[in-house]
């Protein structure tokens, strides 16, 4: 059985941006942590909602045809399936992601994405 996860300790184990690390699994969902800075790519996930929970910093989620959502620490937002979105962070921001296993971070975008790697 997996041990408990200290989020701050996990964030301290890597420095790269936009590269989710799987820290826990719940049924067929992965809990990932990711450091982000700058602008990602516009994309959508046609098969699943996607949960963002900010633990440090500020994340702006640009959304097609509606106002941006701006998340500070302790705020979460669920991007509905099929909604185009683009995450942006002016300064480095720490985000917990929750989504079904094998969900690729770039969704339908033509840029190569990742479903996350495991921190051993």
The CB-of-34 to a second copy minimum distance in angstroms stands at 15
59: nearest Cα among 80, 81, 41, 76 = 76
Question: Which CB, 43 or 45, lies closer to a second copy?
Answer: 45
Q: Which residues bind a second copy (CB under 8 A)?
A: 1-8, 24-27, 29, 31, 48-51, 55, 66, 69-71, 74-78, 80-81, 83, 98-100
Contact (Cβ atoms closer than 8 angstroms) between residue 87 and residue 60 = yes
Q: Which two tokens stand for residue 5?
A: 């996860």
Question: Which CB, 81 or 111, lies closer to a second copy?
Answer: 81
Angstrom distance (rounded) from CA 7 to CA 55: 9
Question: Which CB, 51 or 115, lies closer to a second copy?
Answer: 51
């Amino acid at each position: 059985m997996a041990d408990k996860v200290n989020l701050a300790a996990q964030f301290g184990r890597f420095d790269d941006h936009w590269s989710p690390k799987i820290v826990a699994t719940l049924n067929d969902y992965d809990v990932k942590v990711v450091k982000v800075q700058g602008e990602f790519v516009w994309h959508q996930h046609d098969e699943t909602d996607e949960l963002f929970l900010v633990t440090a910093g500020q994340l702006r989620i640009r959304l097609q045809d509606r106002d941006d959502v701006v998340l500070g620490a302790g705020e979460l937002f669920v991007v509905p399936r099929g909604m185009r979105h683009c995450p942006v962070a002016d300064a480095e921001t720490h985000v917990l992601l929750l989504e079904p296993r094998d969900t690729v971070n770039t969704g339908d975008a033509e840029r190569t994405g990742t479903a996350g790697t495991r921190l051993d």
